[in-house]
Amino acid sequence: MSTITAKNGGAKMAKSMQTEEQIFTIGYEKSTIDDFVGRLAEAEIDVLVDVRELPLSRKKGFSKNGLNAAVKEAGIDYLHVKALGDPKPGREAARAGNHDLFVEIFTQHMDGEDAQSALTELAGAVKGKRICLTCFERHHEGCHRKIVAERLSALVGAPIEHIAVN
């Protein structure tokens, strides 16, 4: 499927996925694990959705297993959705400062079958829960998680709020 809702019956599917909860996003750049988890707890997040293709980090506590353990300790579920991560060419374009190329690459990725399926599954799995999408970048404006949040918002009809971490 190349769009969020299918042409035949898509509106019915999207309506069944509507939620009252907001979609939150957060980046962990320049954050400690304690501050990060604290902000999630303050926002009363139920599920942290890791949208990194490769959930590895040089920052202590932010690789998949450490992050999962830290949020679990705070009563927050952890879900890694690899298919919603930025593929290597997109990450390379972003690191090189080529924002337009990054957006083009990631948009094509999100239009793909794997990402569309993952987005639909995510919408169903987190219905009625307070979720927060996470990846590295502190500012959401130039980050792929903003695009993921927008696509998810269009699918479920939920507003988006970006959480800042000190």
Q: What is the pTM of this model?
A: 0.86
Domain-located, residue 138: yes
The predicted model gives 101-117 an average pLDDT of 97
Q: What confidence score (pLDDT) does residue 17 get?
A: 54
Domain-located, residue 7: no
Domain-located, residue 135: yes
For residue 137 the two structure tokens come to 């970048």
> In sequence order, what are the residues at sequence separation of 6 or more whose Cβ sits closer than 8 angstroms to the Cβ of residue 42?
none
Reported for 116-121, long-range contacts at CB under 8 A and 24+ positions apart, including other chains, are: 116/1, 116/2, 116/3, 116/4, 117/1, 117/83, 118/81, 118/82, 118/83, 118/84, 119/4, 119/84, 119/148, 119/151, 119/152, 119/155, 120/13, 120/17, 120/155
Q: Which residues make beta-bridge pairs with 50?
A: 80, 134
Query: What range does the domain containing 101 cover?
Result: 19-163
- % the chain with pLDDT above 90: 80
The predicted model gives 42-50 an average pLDDT of 97
Residue 159: CATH number of its domain: 3.40.1010.10
Domain-located, residue 109: yes
Domain-located, residue 121: yes
Domain-located, residue 60: yes
Domain-located, residue 11: no
Helix (H) or strand (E) holding 50: strand 47-50
- Identify residue 1 by its one-letter amino acid code: M
- Average pLDDT value over all residues in the chain: 88
| Closest-CA residue to 110 (of 160, 70, 152, 148) | 148
Domain-located, residue 9: no
Report how many domains make up the chain.
1
Under the banding of pLDDT at 50, 70 and 90, the label for residue 14 is very low
